[in-house]
Each structure stands twice: as structure tokens, then as C-alpha cells.
Amino acid sequence: MPELPEVEVSRMGITPHLVGETIQSLTFRTPKLRWDIPQQLKQLEHQVIRRISRRAKYLIIETDVGSAIVHLGMSGSLRILDADLTAGKHDHVDIKLTNGKILRYNDPRRFGAWLWCAPGENHAVLNNIGPEPLTDEFNAEYMFARAQGKRVTVKQFIMDNKIVVGVGNIYACESLFSAGINPTRAAGQISLVEWLRLVDEIKRVLAKAIQQGGTTLKDFAQADGKPGYFAQELLVYGRAGKPCTICGELIEEQKIGQRNTFFCSQCQR
């Protein structure tokens, strides 16, 4: 599943091609992805795209009359293409621009979403979610306060969108390793000093992943078709049974909250 860095890279990739351009038409080749595709999205036709923003893993295509909220799901991707390029089997949505280009949404598993949001409103999917991880609002003091008395593992805690958005499985594993914190520990047992270290590592890992173009996974590539490169630098994720790059002990794998978790029991306490 594309995580926050991949979604942010997609936003950065499509923004120069869309902002300031006029939408000529929208084409939906399926009535439903994860949810029904709302027909209100047709109101975006003949509108100028003012901004492409992101909240959590949702991309927001903003116009004066409303916005399209896009989630890539598990296998979705966005491409800027020539409008005359024939659609493939899994090309479900096209936004055709008056300049002869299209924004094409491809999603083999159809777990993504296209939603409608009227001006001045906030869609339900964006309610009750935590701060963005790369903002000042996300800090050690905030996490320490929210974690008090929590028995849930620290890994599940930092992956909870109600606490902080966008810290997916890969980056949770990597950040906890870099911070030297065992993912199985209870969130309420993490000290303020440890939260200072962990928050800094979450910010560093996510920022570096964005800078390098996202993580290359099976279903992700940038808007221009180029893959991300951060996967080359993963220190624990997907490395079960391989030696730790710091101490040489074998990386362990364990299910936490139904997610595969990778860590070094020697380096992470």
C-alpha cells in the first residue's frame, strides 16, 4: 500500500501539470471503487484546478466549486498522459484537461476512492484524524501526553491515524529501529526522552523517503513513471533473518496488530 511519502511524491509529481489548468471532462469507467463514485464530481468539469493538497494519505484536487478527494488504496496510481492514449483494463478514472493531457487513475485492486467535497465542508474521511507528522503540531510532548496509560504497543500507537497520520508499517519499523525502541513495548511506558528521539526519527525517515521519491514497492511508481529509491536504504523492514547493520544479530519478525513487524532485539530496547 502506498504510504504517506508515496502519496506526497504523487502530489508533487502531478501538481505542476494540473494547477492552473482547466478540466474539460471527467470519465468514470466503473461506478464503484472502495465506495461508490459520487456523480457530484462531474461538477468539476470546466473548472480551473486551483491547488493539489494532501491530508494524511488523501490527495485533494481543489477547484472553486468543490474538490475531488482521492485515495490510492492498495494499488492505485496517478499518471499524466496524452489524452489520446487508450485506457487499459484497470484505468478507472480520467480527468481530461483542455491542454490535451489527462490525469489517469489506475487501480487493479479497486480499493482506492474518489470522493466529493463541497466548498467549506470537511469530508467525513478527514474528520477525527491526528496531526501531520512533518508539522510542529506533531512533537514529543504531544505524543507523551497522548500515550499516558496506554497499553497498546508503541508501534500500533504511532500507526494510529487518530494520534498521528501517515506513519505506515514500513516507516514505523524503520523509525523505531533508528530510535532504538522495541516495537512491542507499551506506548505508555515510553519516556519523554524516548519520545523526543522517536518523533525526530519519524520526521527524518519520512522526509528522507519523500526526498528520494518514495519507497519502491510492487504497486508504486512516481507520477512520471520513475520508481522511488528509499527501499535501497531500509534497515529492518523485510530483512527478517538477515544480520542487523549495527550489531550483527539477526533481524526478527513478529505480528503486531496483524502487521508484519521487523526489529533487532539487541539494538531496540
Quick check: is 269 catalytic?
A: no
Residues 159, 107 share a domain: no
Q: Does 17 belong to an annotated binding site?
A: no
- Asked if 56 and 129 touch (Cβ cutoff 8 Å), the reply is yes
Instruction: With a cut of 80, say whether residue 219 has pLDDT above it.
Output: no
- What number of other Cβ atoms are within 10 A of residue 123's Cβ? 15
Instruction: With a cut of 70, say whether residue 160 has pLDDT above it.
Output: yes
Grid coordinates given for 94: 480520467
Instruction: Report residue 259: phi and psi, to 5°.
Output: -115, 135
Q: Domain total for the chain?
A: 2
Q: Could you tell me if residue 15 is inside a domain?
A: yes
Instruction: With a cut of 90, say whether residue 99 has pLDDT above it.
Output: yes
Residue of higher predicted confidence among 147 and 213: 147
Instruction: With a cut of 70, say whether residue 96 has pLDDT above it.
Output: yes
Residues 259, 189 share a domain: yes
Q: Does 104 belong to an annotated binding site?
A: no
Which among 126, 152, 172 is the end of a domain? 126
Q: Output the CA–CA distances (angstroms, integers) from residue 143 to 28, 32, 130, in the order listed.
A: 41, 37, 11
Whichever domain contains 22, its CATH number is 3.20.190.10
Average pLDDT over residues 40-49: 98
Quick check: is 121 catalytic?
A: no
State how far the Cα of 252 lies from the Cα of 237, in Å rounded to an integer: 10
Report residue 159's pLDDT band, with 50, 70 and 90 as the boundaries.
very high
pLDDT digits (tens, 9 = 90+) for 25-35: 999 999 999 99
pLDDT digits (tens, 9 = 90+) for 163-217: 999 999 999 999 999 999 999 999 999 999 999 999 999 999 999 989 888 665 4
- The residue range of the domain holding 220 is 140-263
Catalytic residue among 55, 185, 203, 259: 259
Residues 147, 108 share a domain: no
| pTM (predicted TM-score) | 0.90
Residues 253, 158 share a domain: yes
Quick check: is 133 catalytic?
A: no
Catalytic residue among 3, 8, 62, 194: 3
- In one-letter notation, the amino acid at residue 205 is V
Catalytic residue among 6, 11, 54, 57: 57
Residues 97, 37 share a domain: yes
Quick check: is 57 catalytic?
A: yes
Length of the chain: 269
Q: What is the pLDDT of residue 136?
A: 98
Q: Could you tell me if residue 244 is inside a domain?
A: yes
Q: Does 150 belong to an annotated binding site?
A: yes
Residue of higher predicted confidence among 34 and 6: 34
Grid coordinates given for 112: 482506492
Residues 68, 153 share a domain: no
Q: Could you tell me if residue 100 is inside a domain?
A: yes
